[in-house]
Chain A
Amino acid sequence: MTNWSPTVITRVMLGLAIVVSAFPLYWMLVIASRTNADAVAVPPPFLPGGNLGENIVAVLNNEDAHFLLGLTNSFLIASIVTVSVVLISTLAGFSFANLNFKGRNMLLLAVLLTMAVPLQQMGVVPLYRLMVSLEWTGTLKAVILPYLLNGFGVFLMTQYTRQAVPMELVEAARVDGAATLRIWWNVVLPAVRPGMAVLGINTFMLMWNDFMWPLIVLTPDNPTVQIAITQLNARFSTNYTLIFAGTALSIIPLIAVFVAFGRQIVGGLMEGAVKA
């Protein structure tokens, strides 16, 4: 093997990348744990202070931000969408990958095409009018429903099932007398679990972060966590410690997911990229 070991420049570059990636998060922690006077000091403070608990309590108790409600809402929305999208995509992926039916390739192509359309931006006007006429504006289902449509999920699970479940296995189970759903449950599901995990984590993160559609369809008194931060930011724009404590709270669930599933996220991203 030729020299694949890193040079000094490579090491420096990687070190720099790590510092740059982590710094804004560290900075979030620094400001969130200090006082407002510190936040606007020149030169700025570089070490965390001792007010983190106090600031977090202030955010949670803030009447205007509804922060706790925002966290709960985001968690509900992200969980429901994740479970539904993973289920819908796994079923459809199995059908596209392992079953024969007329029009299969056409339908798969249709899924691919829908991936290229930014529906949530393109269709905001009719979607909003639809929610108004159903009297669903301000409710969580208005946020949830449009996101159950996820072409990427179907595509990912089709690709994943294709490589994880050989056709012979499905045929053999069928010869053995198993019905389609039974094959899905006993043969396919155990084999595609890693793919489901990747899709699930991805969907959860996307939903947790979603901003434009909830901003349009929800009201500030029933917000998602991103809307709650925006509220804090708009109403208390000089109260940096309050806002930063809010941002820190908003990313804790994501960091927890990331620490728990980091290996799968990296692996899943890399596999998905090569197969796409």
Chain B
Amino acid sequence: MSLDTLPRAMRSNHRRPRPPGRRWRSRLDVKAMPYALVSPYFLLFAAFGLFPLAFTLYYSLYDYDLAGTTEWAGLGNYTALLADDDFWNAVVNTVGMFVIATVPQMLLALFLANALNKRFRFRLAIRMSVLLPLVTSVVAVAVVFTQLYARDWGLVNWILGWFGVDPTNWRAERVPSWIAIATMVDWRWTGYNAIIFLAGMQTIPRDLYEAAAIDGASRRRQFWQITLPMLRPTMIFVVLNSTIGGLTLFSEPTTFYNGNVDGGSQGQFQTVAMFIVKEGFREFDYGYAAAAAWLLFLLILLGALINFLFVRRIGGTK
């Protein structure tokens, strides 16, 4: 359809005379249409972006209780949160799971991308199969992993039993529960990040590697001295993405405890996002939940900044 309109459009270099009414209309079209085209997005942004952010701030300055009474609290919710052991527990859990999940995930994704960058048959099929976890539903996968980690009949304990490891109660203790949840996250995202890294690797000019090979640099050295530093922009994208996703973790730990936002009997795997939902929608303490949401946002900014600075240093020594 477009193919026959385009060449004609390009051939006609002369301006056709237009009636004055049409000229006025086309002036309006050129001036106003660009704004009209972006306006749906910005209207939605006002309604579902700016409004919730501003009102989260507003709510966070008030005290709400179950009876529905509202009272000005100033910064009371924030000071209460900073003194709340449950909140800090959620922060520690979130950051702990994030670190346990992200560090191995980035390393695995890098090496997997390096492997995917080789020449072999069935390339598309192999790339698709490492992406397979991404297209399965989070809750479904969390249910499957929860069963795999069951204490008495789970596959994980059964396999560990071959090596003489006693059955672990993955859900009952802090670090084991973090590991179990981190594996769910990693299973889902490692292949995706590997594909993103692969895309970044393919933009690195081949001559760099050829020149390095002529200079006698080993494959390993080429990886550390060329691939990693050249991959930095991609890495920043991937790490920032993982930071936002990891610090707002909700589905996996919630499903790990049968859809309950307590995060285990002692709250050993309750994340900040779960804490917000618990305070806001079970205790109906909207102000407290809103304040926690702002603190979560600060945590994300802080995490993003630290990770950004860290990635910028990678391979920067030359």
Closest residue of A by beta carbon distance from B118 = A6
B1-40: which residues lie under 8 A (CB-CB) from chain A? 1-2, 5-6, 8-10, 12-13, 15-16, 18, 25-26, 29-31, 33-35, 37-38, 40
Q: B310 at the A/B interface (Cβ < 8 Å)?
A: no
Q: A6-B118, A88-B41, A229-B143 are in contact. Are A175 and B196 (CB under 8 A)?
A: no
Nearest CB in chain B: distance from A31 CB, A: 7
- Of the candidates B6, B34, B55, the one whose C-beta lies within 8 Å of that of A104 is B34
- Of the candidates A10, A243, A257, the one whose C-beta lies within 8 Å of that of B118 is A10
Q: Which residues of A contact B296 (CB under 8 A)?
A: 121-122
Closest residue of A by beta carbon distance from B59 = A125
Compute how far the CA of A22 lies from the CA of B51 in the bound complex, rounded to whole angstroms.
42
Q: B91 at the A/B interface (Cβ < 8 Å)?
A: no
Closest residue of A by beta carbon distance from B287 = A125
Are B15's CB and A269's CB within 8 A? no
Q: B160 at the A/B interface (Cβ < 8 Å)?
A: no
Are A18's CB and B136's CB within 8 A? no
Q: A13 at the A/B interface (Cβ < 8 Å)?
A: yes
Are A21's CB and B44's CB within 8 A? no
Are B118's CB and A122's CB within 8 A? no
Compute how far the CA of A251 lies from the CA of B114 in the bound complex, rounded to whole angstroms.
29
Q: A17-B130, A187-B2, A273-B200 are in contact. Are A95 and B34 (CB under 8 A)?
A: yes
Are A230's CB and B259's CB within 8 A? yes
Return the CB mask of A179-220 against B: 1 if under 8 Å, else 0: 111001011011100000000000001001101100110000
Q: What DSSP secondary structure best describes chain A's contact surface?
A: helix
Q: Which residues of A contact B250 (CB under 8 A)?
A: 121, 211-212
Q: A55 at the A/B interface (Cβ < 8 Å)?
A: no
Q: A2-B213, A44-B158, A121-B248 are in contact. Are A13 and B115 (CB under 8 A)?
A: yes
Are B281's CB and A216's CB within 8 A? yes
Q: B116 at the A/B interface (Cβ < 8 Å)?
A: yes
Q: Which residues of B contact A231 (CB under 8 A)?
A: 259
Q: B268 at the A/B interface (Cβ < 8 Å)?
A: no
Return the CB mask of A104-145 against B: 1 if under 8 Å, else 0: 100100110010111101111111111000000000000001
B109-163: which residues lie under 8 A (CB-CB) from chain A? 111-112, 115-120, 124, 126-141, 143-145, 147-148, 150, 152-153, 155, 158
Are A191's CB and B244's CB within 8 A? no
Return the CB mask of B233-260 against A: 1 if under 8 Å, else 0: 0100100100010001011001100111
Closest residue of B by beta carbon distance from A43 = B158
B163-200: which residues lie under 8 A (CB-CB) from chain A? 187, 191-192, 195-196, 198-200
Are A230's CB and B10's CB within 8 A? no
Q: B53 at the A/B interface (Cβ < 8 Å)?
A: yes
Compute how far the CA of A191 lies from the CA of B231 in the bound complex, rounded to whole angstroms.
30
Compute how far the CA of A272 lies from the CA of B199 in the bound complex, rounded to whole angstroms.
9
- Of the candidates A96, A100, A233, the one whose C-beta lies within 8 Å of that of B255 is A233
Compute how far the CA of A225 lies from the CA of B80 in the bound complex, rounded to whole angstroms.
37
Are B48's CB and A247's CB within 8 A? no
Q: Which residues of B contact A247 (CB under 8 A)?
A: 137, 139-141, 143-144
Q: A58 at the A/B interface (Cβ < 8 Å)?
A: no
Compute how far the CA of A81 lies from the CA of B218 in the bound complex, rounded to whole angstroms.
50
Chain A interface residue count, Cβ-Cβ cutoff 8 angstroms = 115
Are B12's CB and A176's CB within 8 A? yes
Are B112's CB and A24's CB within 8 A? no
Are A41's CB and B153's CB within 8 A? yes
Q: A148 at the A/B interface (Cβ < 8 Å)?
A: yes
| B contact residues vs A (CB 8 Å cutoff) | 1-2, 5-6, 8-10, 12-13, 15-16, 18, 25-26, 29-31, 33-35, 37-38, 40-42, 44-45, 47-49, 51-53, 55-56, 58-59, 111-112, 115-120, 124, 126-141, 143-145, 147-148, 150, 152-153, 155, 158, 187, 191-192, 195-196, 198-200, 202-203, 206, 209-210, 213, 234, 237, 240, 244, 248, 250-251, 254-255, 258-260, 273, 276-277, 280-281, 286, 289-290, 293-294, 296-297, 300, 304
Q: Given A125-B289, A149-B44, A271-B199, 14 more contacts at CB 8 Å?
A: A20-B187, A21-B187, A121-B248, A124-B52, A125-B280, A149-B41, A205-B134, A212-B254, A216-B281, A247-B143, A247-B144, A251-B137, A262-B128, A269-B196
Cβ contacts A to B, 21 pairs, < 8 Å: A21-B133, A24-B141, A92-B37, A92-B38, A92-B40, A99-B37, A107-B38, A121-B248, A125-B55, A130-B51, A172-B6, A172-B12, A173-B5, A174-B30, A205-B134, A229-B143, A230-B258, A234-B260, A255-B136, A274-B200, A274-B202
| A contact residues vs B (CB 8 Å cutoff) | 1-2, 4-6, 10-11, 13-14, 17-18, 20-22, 24-25, 27-28, 31, 39-44, 88-89, 91-92, 94-96, 99-101, 104, 107, 110-111, 114, 116-119, 121-130, 145-146, 148-149, 151, 154, 168-169, 172-181, 184, 186-187, 189-191, 205, 208-209, 211-212, 215-216, 225-226, 229-231, 233-234, 237, 240, 243-244, 246-248, 250-251, 254-255, 257-258, 262-263, 265-266, 269-271, 273-274, 276
